[in-house]
Amino acid sequence: SQTIHQWPATLVQPVGSPLSLECTVEGTSNPNLYWYRQAAGRGLQLLFYSVGIGQISSEVPQNLSASRPQDRQFILSSKKLLLSDSGFYLCAWSRTGGTEAFFGQGTRLTVV
Amino acid sequence: QKEVEQDPGPLSVPEGAIVSLNCTYSNSAFQYFMWYRQYSRKGPELLMYTYSSGNKEDGRFTAQVDKSSKYISLFIRDSQPSDSATYLCAFYSNSGYALNFGKGTSLLVTP
């Protein structure tokens, strides 16, 4: 069966510090991978998606970047965090050509 | 017009009630319809998945799709306190690459 791991679960970082959130998927090959941010009252905002190694598409210009160094690994990064980067970050995967997405447990990021 | 509209609630019902959750959408290209359940501080989990108009039942849950009206619903029978969560509708089109989500409806089932 397929599983998705996302860590850490919670993170408190000072403004201006770097960020690295990691997500890995097990039990499948060549998944589509997604990073979402969820803010209160704003729903799920798609940040990045990837259909293959090294292939990253950005949905929203911002202070964040994503990388996919391996087939089942997706990383969300920032060089300098802003207060506005606080939120609940979710990694998700779907099968190639699939429709439904499966989510990790999320990382609650607080920038102070 | 937003692509997906979903009443955020909160919706509070007594245990045992029938719950009706709804979403409307404007994009005719949406062909796949999903409902996710999200508990507080957790990731969303897929609850129901439908493709065609009509009803799909899974235990206490029934998903209903009306493509002509661009309207989908999720019904929960005999609601339980454990059903208290946020419910998100989601849509997918073959011309897209990711799901389009509603903002979610917060449901509270009181004992």
- For B56-96, write each residue's pLDDT tens digit: 999 999 999 999 999 999 999 999 999 999 999 999 987 77
Q: Which of these, B110, B83, B82, lies nearest to B15 by C-alpha position?
A: B110
- The CA distance from A27 to the nearest CA of chain B, in Å, is 18
Task: Verify cis geometry, omega within 30 degrees of 0, for the bond prior to B10.
Answer: yes
Q: Compute the Cα dihedral for B89, A29, A49, B95 and give only its sign.
A: negative
Q: How far apart (Å, rounded) are the C-alpha atoms in residues B67 and A57? A: 30
Residue among B30, B31, B42 with most chain A CBs within 10 A, to mutate: B42
- The CA distance from A99 to the nearest CA of chain B, in Å, is 6
Chain B residue at shortest CA distance from A37: B43
**Block residue for tokens 């102070």:** A112
Between positions 55 and 94 of A, the ones with CB within 8 A of B are 57, 88, 90, 92
Structure confidence at residue B105 (pLDDT): 96
Question: Rounded to the nearest 10 degrees, how much is the dihedral formed by the CA atoms of A93, A99, A105, A111?
Answer: 80
pLDDT, one tens digit for every residue, chain A (112 residues): 889 999 999 999 999 999 999 999 999 999 999 999 998 777 899 999 999 998 999 888 688 999 999 999 999 999 999 999 999 999 999 998 778 999 999 999 999 9
**Tens digit of pLDDT for each residue in B29-60?**
898 999 999 999 999 999 999 988 899 999 99
- In terms of Cβ atoms closer than 10 Å to its own Cβ (0-12, 13-18, 19+), residue B96 is middle
Question: Cβ–Cβ of B88/A44 closer than 8 Å?
Answer: yes
Q: How many helices (H) and strands (E) does chain A have?
A: 0, 11
**Pick from A43, A90, A106: CB nearest B104:** A43
Question: Cβ–Cβ of B101/A99 closer than 8 Å?
Answer: no
Q: How far is CA B14 from CA B58, B59, B79, in A?
A: 21, 19, 8
